[in-house]
Chains A and B, each alone.
Chain A
Amino acid sequence: DIQMTQSPSSLSASVGDRVTISCRASQTISSHLNWYQQKPGKAPNLLIYAASTLQSGVPSRFSGSGSGTDFTLSISSLQPEDFATYYCQQTSSFPQTFGQGTKVEMK
């Protein structure tokens, strides 16, 4: 199975900050990497697919990059509604594993 490791597991930031979350795969997955946002008590929401393509309706302050084994989700200017937990997911092979999540909290 491909292991997905996110870092950090949590971070504290302020509105307006630039935030970067990393996701590393235990073997190469090309660009088969998606990012999701989840708020407490809610279902996850797709932000980025194929490593760098913004899902329709997602604000342009979100961006994704990377290929192979190392990927990054960036939020250019953190907004109040962005405090949430973020997950990466590889879809290169089954089982389609998720990272453990990164919780973005208010400083």
Chain B
Amino acid sequence: EVQLVESGGGLVQPGGSLRLSCAASGFTFSNYWMSWVRQAPGKGLEWVANIIEGGSHKFHLDAVEGRFTISRDNAKNSLSLQMNSLRAEDTGVYYCARVGKHGYDLDYWGQGTLVTVSS
């Protein structure tokens, strides 16, 4: 059974940093692209970043480019999102998702971790 479990969310002050993690199990992690998607309170979904199987290529939303970095450790079946210079508008639930094999569909999702940026 595919499982994705996020951790690392919490309350942080504007300008602060946070590192989110996603533990993957139930599939060959190194064979899949992975993704982060966020959702502000009461709002819709927003794609944040993708990373290819080996980790050498990464894609980030312009609004987080230079502040957030997606990375992965295939030996540990782990996905991360390093978030620096956090802003109030970064507040929301952050989901880790597996990118399926049918053209970037997100076929499995974690339960999400809440990030709150506030003073």
**A interface residues, Cβ below 8 angstroms from B:** 32, 34, 36, 38, 42-46, 49-50, 53, 55, 87, 89, 91, 94-101
Give 20 A-B pairs besides A91-B105, A98-B44, A99-B44 with Cβ atoms closer than 8 angstroms. Answer: A32-B103, A36-B45, A36-B106, A44-B37, A44-B109, A45-B109, A50-B103, A53-B102, A55-B105, A55-B107, A87-B45, A89-B45, A89-B106, A94-B50, A94-B59, A95-B47, A95-B61, A96-B47, A98-B46, A101-B44
Contact residues on B (Cβ < 8 Å of other chain), bracket: 20 to 34
Taking beta carbons and an 8 Å cutoff, which residues of B are in contact with A? 37, 44-47, 50, 59, 61-62, 95, 100, 102-107, 109-112
Of A42, A91, A95, A100, which is within 8 A of B44 by CB? A100
Given A43-B109, A43-B110, A43-B111: A49 and B102 interface contact (C-beta under 8 Å) = yes
CB pairs A–B below 8 angstroms (23 shown): A32-B103, A34-B105, A34-B106, A36-B45, A43-B95, A43-B112, A44-B37, A44-B106, A44-B109, A46-B106, A49-B102, A49-B103, A49-B107, A55-B107, A87-B44, A87-B45, A89-B106, A91-B103, A95-B61, A95-B62, A96-B104, A97-B47, A98-B47
